[in-house]
């Protein structure tokens, strides 16, 4: 596993090493104003988690759909909103990027001038890698960026499914670099721990390889399976049982969100698609030759590996 860069700000952190538990009082991670950029399932759940634990005074929301923001306001998920991202971020202590990752850098440029000194910018994106470096470069002086990825959520979209306890027991990956401010990193780690998450760190590039394998590739495969059955005979979908539904549940995820993730992590995903094809070709060969022993061996191997996944 790769190591993160040693420096006076971030310290030396091994990949997937747990952050030292934040032991200060809850008040030390209190925010006067928090801005949520993208009030969907994750952004709204983040807001609700803050409110439930009394960790902020005011939450501002931003999004492209004013009706959704009005709904979030009415549901007391946010306290105010603006369809201008720069205005929404004015005077905020914490800004959360919960919009599709393909919109990150453009939005960061728009809000640059309104970020106050000492503010922390973080995110919940499923892609890190180069994006973390790009976001760091777009931060004004005295504003810290801490890359984050909570492994929580659902194929369901929107604020109606948001929950204050969504992150309890979930893994949360932070991806600090040699430029990450130590105080900001500890504060974000402490915040996620207060939500009940299990916080650890990864090098940004290592993060993208791992999640290309265990998240991004499975999503593409799920989309492909559903489309394949549609090509065979669309009516067959009406006969699907729990096995098909469990296997393809994530194909109901946001197409826009997964378009951006797939394109931004395409090199890793393409490498793993090739490996998946190789394994699928092997199974195809065993079927053609009616090689029952080889098929059973592959199935047993996968079964044993899957049973170890917790």
State residue 17's pLDDT score. 59
Q: 176, 202, 228: which is the final residue of a domain?
A: 202
What's the whole-number mean pLDDT along residues 250-277? 96
Residue 19 located in a structural domain: no
Place 15 in a pLDDT band, splitting at 50, 70 and 90.
low
State residue 28's pLDDT score. 72
> Cα dist. 120→98, 136, 245, 276, 284 in Å?
14, 11, 40, 39, 51
Residue 76 located in a structural domain: yes
Place 16 in a pLDDT band, splitting at 50, 70 and 90.
low
User: At residue 20, does pLDDT exceed 60?
Assistant: no
State residue 13's pLDDT score. 39
State residue 157's pLDDT score. 77
Q: Are residues 180 and 285 in the same domain?
A: no
State residue 158's pLDDT score. 84
Place 19 in a pLDDT band, splitting at 50, 70 and 90.
low
User: At residue 24, does pLDDT exceed 80?
Assistant: no
- Share of residues in the chain with pLDDT > 70 (%): 91
3-state SS record for 53-86: CCCEEEEEEECCCHHHHHHHHHCCCCCEEECCHH
Q: Are residues 46 and 175 in the same domain?
A: yes
User: At residue 200, does pLDDT exceed 50?
Assistant: yes
State residue 164's pLDDT score. 96
- Average pLDDT score, the chain: 91
Q: Are residues 189 and 276 in the same domain?
A: no
User: At residue 9, does pLDDT exceed 90?
Assistant: no
Q: 158, 173, 202: which is the final residue of a domain?
A: 202
Q: Whole domain around residue 301: which residue ranges?
A: 206-307
- In tens, the pLDDT along 43-76 reads 999 999 999 999 999 999 999 999 999 999 999 9
Q: 202, 228, 263: which is the final residue of a domain?
A: 202
Distance CA 163, CA 220 (A): 27
**Is pLDDT larger for residue 218 or for residue 5?**
218
| Contact criterion met (CB below 8 Å) for 86 and 37 | no
User: At residue 23, does pLDDT exceed 70?
Assistant: no
Q: Are residues 296 and 197 in the same domain?
A: no
User: At residue 4, does pLDDT exceed 60?
Assistant: no
User: At residue 115, does pLDDT exceed 90?
Assistant: yes
Residue 210 located in a structural domain: yes
Q: Are residues 90 and 215 in the same domain?
A: no
What's the whole-number mean pLDDT along residues 16-26? 50
Name the DSSP letter for residue 215: I
Q: Are residues 164 and 251 in the same domain?
A: no
Q: Are residues 251 and 279 in the same domain?
A: yes
**Is pLDDT larger for residue 153 or for residue 100?**
100
| Contact criterion met (CB below 8 Å) for 123 and 102 | no
State the CATH number of the domain containing residue 233: 1.10.3660.10
Q: Can you point out the beta strands (E) in the chain?
A: 31-37, 56-62, 80-82, 94-97, 120-123, 144-146, 148-150, 171-174, 198-201
State residue 29's pLDDT score. 87
Tell me which of 10-19, 27-36, 93-102, 298-307 is least confident.
10-19
pTM of structure: 0.88
State residue 104's pLDDT score. 97
In DSSP terms, 37 is beta-bridged to: 62, 97
Residue 50 located in a structural domain: yes
**Total structural domains in the chain?**
2
- Which residue, among 55, 61, 7, 90, has the nearest Cα to 187 in the 3D structure? 55
- Give the three-class secondary structure for 201: strand
State residue 18's pLDDT score. 59
User: At residue 226, does pLDDT exceed 90?
Assistant: yes
Tell me which of 4-18, 69-83, 195-209 is least confident.
4-18
**Is pLDDT larger for residue 24 or for residue 103?**
103
User: At residue 239, does pLDDT exceed 90?
Assistant: yes
- Which residue, among 121, 69, 56, has the nearest Cα to 95 in the 3D structure? 121
Q: Are residues 173 and 231 in the same domain?
A: no
- In tens, the pLDDT along 71-86 reads 999 999 999 999 999 9
């Amino acid at each position: 596993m790769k190591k993160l860069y040693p420096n006076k700000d971030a310290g030396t952190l091994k990949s997937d090493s747990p952050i030292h538990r934040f032991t200060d009082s809850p008040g030390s991670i209190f925010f006067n104003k928090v801005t949520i950029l993208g009030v969907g399932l994750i952004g709204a759940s983040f807001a609700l988690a803050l409110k439930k634990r009394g960790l902020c005074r005011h939450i501002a929301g931003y999004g492209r759909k004013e009706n959704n923001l009005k709904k979030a306001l009415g549901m007391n998920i946010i306290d105010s909103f603006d369809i201008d991202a720069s205005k929404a971020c004015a005077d905020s202590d914490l800004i959360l990027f919960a919009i599709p990752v393909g919109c990150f850098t453009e939005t960061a440029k728009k809000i640059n001038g309104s970020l106050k000194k000492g503010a922390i910018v973080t995110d919940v994106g499923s892609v890190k890698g180069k994006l973390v470096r790009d976001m760091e470069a777009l931060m004004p002086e005295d504003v810290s960026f801490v890359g984050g990825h909570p492994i929580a959520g659902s194929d369901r979209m929107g604020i109606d499914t948001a929950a204050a306890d969504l992150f309890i027991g979930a893994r949360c990956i932070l991806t600090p670099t040699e430029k990450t401010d130590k105080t900001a990193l500890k504060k974000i780690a402490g915040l996620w721990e207060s939500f009940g998450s299990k916080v650890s760190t990864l090098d940004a590039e290592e993060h993208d390889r791992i999640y290309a394998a265990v998240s991004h590739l499975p999503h593409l495969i799920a989309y492909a399976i559903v489309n394949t059955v549609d090509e065979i005979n669309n009516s067959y979908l009406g006969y699907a049982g729990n096995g098909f539904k469990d296997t393809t549940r994530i194909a109901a995820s946001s197409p826009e969100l997964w378009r951006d993730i797939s394109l931004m992590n395409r090199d890793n995903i393409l490498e793993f698609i090739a490996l998946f094809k190789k394994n699928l070709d092997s199974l195809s060969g065993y079927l053609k030759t009616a090689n029952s022993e080889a098929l059973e061996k592959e199935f047993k191997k996968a079964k044993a590996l899957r049973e170890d996944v917790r």
